[in-house]
Structures are given as structure tokens and as C-alpha cells.
Amino acid sequence: MKRLLGAVTAAALVAFVGACGSGDSGETSADGTVTLEFAQWWAPELPAGEFDKLITEFTTQNPNIKVKLLSAPYASTKQQLVTGAASKTLPDVVGLDGAWVNDFAKQGAITDLSKLMTEAGYDASQLASQVQYKDATYMIPVVNFVYPLFVNQDLLSKAGVSAVPGTRTEFADAAKKISATGGNVKGWALPLDTAVPNGIQNDVMSWLWASGGSMLADGKPALTTPQVKSVVEYVKSLNDAGVIAPGALTMKEQDKVEKFTTGQVGMMIDSLAHINLIKKNAPDLKFAVAPLPAEDGYTGKRGIPYASWGIGVADSSDHKAEAFKLVQFLLSKETNGKLATLANGFPGNKTAEPDFSNSDPLFKTAFDIYQQGTPANEFVGLPKSEELMRSFDEQLQLVLTGKASVDDALAKSQESWSSVIG
């Protein structure tokens, strides 16, 4: 997910902290006007002033509602919302990361959006996805940032590969041919650093979701199934074939992107948000994006990993109906299309379309992939999702270094996950 990494100034942070739970939230003036607080990290990541313009559109359409934006970088927003959730002092409307939803819902800090949708007569079928806890929606993704397959077209051509791989067999074949071209070039980059274990989500489980598989059954871990086993065995086969870039066990996502940008790997699974970065750092690099390869013979919709700007409503808000009006506005066809365009992401409303007229053509290609597939990230909404990734990562590393069998690693992962998910 796009995140602003720069530090927030002390003054801005103090202002943000002071606003959360300051007493302004849910305020109703003498004339009946309601003031909503909306905390998010989105505005700092968009062109200056653009998010404010959208909010002004909303308040113009709803003169009885005012919106007080609480904007700060992702890390600061997370810190303050975690604190606010624990003390039940969240702003009325909150930007959410899917990894927070389970804990916030369990704490009773965010409210049941399924109920608000029903009360508002809202048609949920237009939503691309919803994040649920105990069969109720607590977060709606507003903008999605997907992770397709990136391929270096020059390396594919040099290796004699005429088409972008569409199946696991074709991918393995292309990775072997690219690796055989010599030098320090490898077919694929796999980041497995346990300090930041999101490689399990983006680079490993993505193979499972691409073929319609699941790591869960009825909300419980299901890691010993043939589908999950085939993914781990496939990754092991690529490692055994020597087609994975060296240093995978300590590689982070940014290292993967750097290796692709400098032509050291031919293929990677990565966030669409990095297209502009890659082109800035390697303007002559010819690359394309494509759907993730699926199991041979698979004909269903392909899952594509994603991260989101999600939205939720505080359970402590005294004006949930007004808060949901803001949610509806941001997810309306026109507004959602505008927001996705500004963010270089994809809409949370299936009927909305971003404007690609001024964007890199690869964004349009990726949007077509997104529409033909289905967003897939089963870590969203799980408790302690990073801990789950890390424990799986540790077992996978044992497999790749020959210290554990696939069956043993999956059995231990199943046991570890069961103790967390319960």
C-alpha cells in the first residue's frame, strides 16, 4: 500500500493527537449542524489539497454536516488510532488498514457497517470487497492497490521466452531460461525477511489465491490442504532449481524492487504503486504487468493480492448515520473514480472507473487485470496477521534450507496459527 514514509512534524503530531477524542467529534451546533472528525493518512499521499476538495464537495451536498480532517502520515495515524481504539475515543470516521480490523472490532472500537448499510438502504453489491468480523462488515476498502506480476521484457526476449508466463509451469520455465542467461541475473525475487514478513502475503500466498485457493476454512487455519502444500512445494522447486535471487531469506520488499529495477531479476510480484518509481530510476527499462500465473488447467477467476485504504465508523460516534453518509459519498461511482485516479489505485466501487488519460498505460493494463480477477488477501481481518506471516515464514525458511519437510513445516504452521486464530 502506498504509504508516506516522511516524518510528521512535532506540531502536526500534537495537533492530530489533540484532535482525537478532543470533544469536537460528534458535536452538534445550535442549528443542527453535525461536525464529524475523519482521521486518515490519505490526504498526505495525494496531490496537495485534492482530498480537501472532495470533502468540500461532500459538505456542499450535505450542508448540515461539517467534516474536520485529521491528516497525518500512515505510521502516525496508526499509532493514534490504536491508542484511540483502546480508549474508545476514535474519531467518527477512520481510515483503516485491514490488519487493524480484527483487533478494533474485538475491542468494540469500530461499528458494524452491515447494520449501517441496511439502515441506509445501501446496495452493497456495488462494493469490490468488504472486510468482516464474525460475519459482519467493519471495513470497506475505498481504494485498492494491487500486486500483479512484473516482467522484464528485455530479459524474457534474451532468454528466448516469447510470451509472459500464464501458468506455474510456464513461469518456472521462463525463470530457468532467464537464470541461464548468465551473470548475476535470476528469474524471480522472493523477499522473506522475517522482520518484515509481508513476502508471505504478497509473494507466497499470492500463488494460492491466483488459483482460487484458500489458506482458511470456515475462518480457521487450513494450511495442510493439498492446495497450500502445492504452493510450498512449487516455491521449493524454484529454489532447488536455483532461479531465485540470492539473499532471499533476508530480502525485504524494497530490495526486490531494486533488483528488478537494475535488471538483476526477470520477474517479481509487486505493488502497482511502484510503477512510477521504477520508471523514474530506470527510464529505459522495458517491463510489463500481467496476471499472476495460475495452476496448470485452472480456468476460474484469478485472485490478485491487494492492500487498501479502508474506511470504518467509530462505535462511540453519536452520529453514525451522518458518518455513513460520508462513507457512501467516498464510495459513490463518481467520487470513488476520482479518488482512485488521484491515488493511482483502483476503486472500491465496482462500477467506478479511474481516468487513465494522464497515467502510464500500465495502469490501464493492470486495471483490466483487476476487473477480470478478484481481490484476494486473506490476511486482511485476521488477528495478529503479521505474527501469522512471520511464523509461516520461519517454517518456509526451514523448508528452503533443507531443515524441514514440507509436511512438517505446514503442520507446525497450522498449530501456530490455530493458537492465534483459535
- For residue 337, the number of C-alpha atoms closer than 13 Å in the C-beta half-sphere is 10
Q: Is the pLDDT of residue 9 over 50?
A: no
Predicted local confidence at residue 379, as pLDDT: 92
Q: Of 23 and 88, which is predicted with more confidence?
A: 88
C-alpha span between 394 and 401 (Å, rounded) = 11
Q: In the predicted model, what is the mean pLDDT of residues 115-129?
A: 96
Buried (b) or exposed (e) across 290-329, using 16+ Cβ within 10 A? bbbbbbeebeeebbbbbbbbbbbbbbbbebbebbbbbbbb
Among positive and negative, which fits the CA dihedral 43, 46, 52, 55? Answer: negative
pLDDT for the residue 14:
42
* pLDDT surpassing 60 at residue 222: yes
- Specify the higher pLDDT residue, 111 or 3: 111
State whether the Cα torsion 165-166-168-169 is positive or negative.
Answer: negative
Residue 27's pLDDT is 66
**Of residues 25 and 141, more confidently modeled:** 141
pLDDT score recorded for residue 3: 41
The domain covering 149-304+383-421 belongs, at the CATH homologous superfamily level, to Periplasmic binding protein-like II (3.40.190.10)
Least confident span in 108-122, 205-219, 365-379: 365-379
Q: Each residue of 202-216: pLDDT tens digit?
A: 999 999 999 999 999
Q: Identify the pLDDT of residue 11.
A: 40
Cross-sheet strand order for the sheet of 265-269: 186-188, 265-269, 149-152, 287-290
Question: pLDDT of 389-409, one tens digit each?
Answer: 999 999 999 999 999 999 999
Q: What pLDDT, on a 0 to 100 scale, did the predictor assign at position 26?
A: 56
First-to-final CA distance of the chain: 28
Segment 128-134 shows an average pLDDT of 90
Please give the share of the chain, as a percent, with pLDDT higher than 70. 93
CA-nearest of 129, 105, 194 to 400 is 194
- What average pLDDT does range 43-69 have in this prediction? 95
pLDDT in tens, 159-175: 999 999 999 999 999 99
Q: Report the chain's mean pLDDT, rounded to a whole number.
A: 91
Domain 10-146+306-375 and domain 149-304+383-421 have a common topology: yes
Cβ contacts of residue 127 below 8 Å, gap of 6+?
Answer: 140, 141, 331, 348, 349, 350
Average pLDDT estimate for 66-95: 94
Q: Is the pLDDT of residue 356 over 60?
A: yes
Name the pLDDT band for 260 (thresholds 50, 70, 90).
very high
Q: How many CB atoms lie within 10 A of CB 395?
A: 23
What's the half-sphere exposure (Cβ side, CA atoms, 13 Å) at 197?
19
- Model pLDDT, residue 24: 44
**pLDDT for 7:** 35
Domain map (residue ranges) of the chain: 10-146+306-375, 149-304+383-421
Cell of 191: 523477499
Say which CATH architecture domain 10-146+306-375 belongs to. 3-Layer(aba) Sandwich (3.40)
The string of pLDDT tens digits covering residues 269-328 is 998 878 888 998 999 999 999 999 999 999 999 998 888 999 999 999 999 999 999 999
Angle at 393 between CA 387 and CA 395, to 5 degrees: 110
Structure-model confidence comparison of residues 356 and 303, the more confident one: 303
pLDDT at residue 378 in the model: 93
Q: What is the pTM of this model?
A: 0.78
What is the reported pLDDT for 64?
96
Q: How far apart are CA 297 and CA 351, in angstroms?
A: 30
